[in-house]
Homo-oligomer: A and B are copies of this chain.
């Protein structure tokens, strides 16, 4: 195996993403040592039981000692407070990063606490599932998935390159862009879809008990796909919508405009308009499959496990 990219990576927050990085950093030799730090004693216990880290004292001074890469993997809303606690223990030359699903808000919270001589390079791996916690993580989570870095304009190119190497070693494809651009793109590809999914499941939930039980029973006709997305962690998603408010509201505005066009077509019985609309959207699916971003198997191939 090639040399490790970092001597010691410290993971702060050992949930789905943090515990996956810990596992992957070891399995793929991206760091010689892995330290894990989590605010929750139960999570620390579980990390010890799972045996996915070398340093599990649960204390910042020990965990961060000698760490040349520190990754904050907590919900976005507490990133700033976490950075403040870590700051005194960060060593000069170290890289501080994160995995938050929004970037502008993380930069605003974390940057003020970064000591001089420490490189702050935000990141966001586009990988996850609808589950959370240390047991949900697995080493191959980032294989063949994108990881977006959003270094500031004055970031040290060598530090950026090392973080790029780290994520590449974990199996990810790395791309850099501005935090602002990241937040706009993700508002459309991730935040709006989640909002819509939460909303439609909420609409169903508002009906009385009888309708709700029929919706569950007959969910396989389309609805169930939305419920998977709407089963994601509430804390994480609250923080995302609070943290990317403007871009999300902008995308939601466009979505609403388009929806009122479709609504009018249905009301007027405009079959040609509906047909044209429904034809156009197929091309995007084809490109997604062609680019290996999803399986072409019918129904996501889930029938196997039915």
Binds B, one of A6-14, A113-121, A296-304: A296-304
Which chain B residues border A252 with CB–CB below 8 Å? 259, 263, 266
Contact status of A245 and B267, CB under 8 A, knowing A234-B275, A306-B295 = yes
Interface residues on chain A, size class: 35 or more
Which chain B residues border A280 with CB–CB below 8 Å? 202, 205
Is A158 positioned at the interface, with any CB of B under 8 Å from its CB?
Answer: no
Which chain B residues border A271 with CB–CB below 8 Å? 77, 238, 242
Contact B293 A146 (CB under 8 A): no
Is A111 positioned at the interface, with any CB of B under 8 Å from its CB?
Answer: no
Q: A168 to chain B: closest CB distance in Å?
A: 17
Contact A224 B262 (CB under 8 A): no
Contact B262 A195 (CB under 8 A): yes
Among B206, B214, B220, contact of A294 (Cβ-Cβ < 8 Å): B220
Is A288 positioned at the interface, with any CB of B under 8 Å from its CB?
Answer: yes
Is A258 positioned at the interface, with any CB of B under 8 Å from its CB?
Answer: yes
Using CB atoms and an 8 Å cutoff, list the residues of chain A in contact with chain B: 77, 126-131, 136, 140, 143-146, 148, 185-186, 188-207, 211-212, 214-232, 234-235, 237-238, 241-242, 245, 248-249, 251-252, 254-256, 258-259, 262-263, 265-267, 269, 271, 274-275, 277-288, 291-295, 297-306
